[in-house]
Amino acid sequence: MLDLSVSLAGVTLKNPVVVASGTFGFGREYSQFYDLGELGGVCAKGLTLHPRTGNPAPRIAETPMGILNSVGLENPGVDAFISQELPFLRQFDTKIIANISGNTPEEYGVMCEKLSAAGVDMIEVNISCPNVKAGGLAYGTRPELAAEVTEMAKKHAGSVPVMVKLSPNVTDITEIAKAVEGAGADALSLINTIRGMRIDVNTRRPILKMNTGGLSGPAVLPVAVRMVWEVSQVVDLPILGMGGVSKGEDGAQLMLAGASAVAVGTALFADPFAPLKVRDELADIAGRQGLSAVRELTGGVRPW
């Protein structure tokens, strides 16, 4: 029997497939299709300290190989998640990962304290957010800013592992990875969306109301594979790989590049069952290669 379990920062997932933050809501809609316990983990929709209404529409635009989004972190706030959504998710035999975004290091600290006390399995720290104290510069674009928010999260997360989500919109993602490792991160997740833009040639206006948005979907997979591979060479942290995963082969590429587990995101919009298909296809690939455990794929790439 093939062992599907993997470890991510000391958290054992029954299989290496989780759903990415922002694409699964809090799981209620998808639970109508299948038992969420079939998943290795659920990364909930991004949370902020206070409720947010998000950006004005239109805030989703299709592209030939994915979507652009500028949803703007619409969410009910961390307290509402803990009181209303977390009890629902706890019904299922899966790991719960809370994703958080803040505009100051202190906001990250407060949310980590609340979520740690509530008993989530892991906290994913989104550092693609603007730091209001640094003139709106995103935390994830400067090593020192990324380290600052990581240190704050670790200080307030207690025994709950902290996974930092890296932005691809940087010159060298390895510098950010090394900075957050030095600041105490327990794991990394990558990649977040790539900034993009579409224009309606007839109106000459950007299709998104906020002009630009984050590109996700199959188009970003080669970038994700490359960045996971680069980061895995310079840090000694487990990696949750994501970006364009829609089938088992995609997930296998990320694991071979160095990821311990993979996340399925945009593919969910086209096929709610995509994570289960990725899980089963990953198992098939590992089985055909004669492996006894799917985790044996991790880091198995053989560069020329």
Active-site residues, by number, are 129
Which residue's structure tokens are 């906290």? 123
Burial of 110 (0-12, 13-18, 19+ CB in 10 A): middle
- d(CA 13, CA 7) in angstroms, rounded, equals 6
How is residue 285 written in tokens? 């690939």
- d(CA 58, CA 68) in angstroms, rounded, equals 11
List Cβ neighbours of 95 (8 Å cut-off, separation of 6 or more).
11, 13, 18, 40, 41, 42, 121, 122
Is residue 243 within 8 Å of residue 251, measured between CB atoms? no
CB half-sphere exposure, 167, CA atoms < 13 A: 21
- d(CA 75, CA 54) in angstroms, rounded, equals 8
List Cβ neighbours of 43 (8 Å cut-off, separation of 6 or more).
18, 19, 20, 21, 24, 97, 99, 124, 263
- d(CA 64, CA 21) in angstroms, rounded, equals 22
The H or E element containing residue 148 is helix 143-156
Burial of 102 (0-12, 13-18, 19+ CB in 10 A): buried
- d(CA 35, CA 77) in angstroms, rounded, equals 26
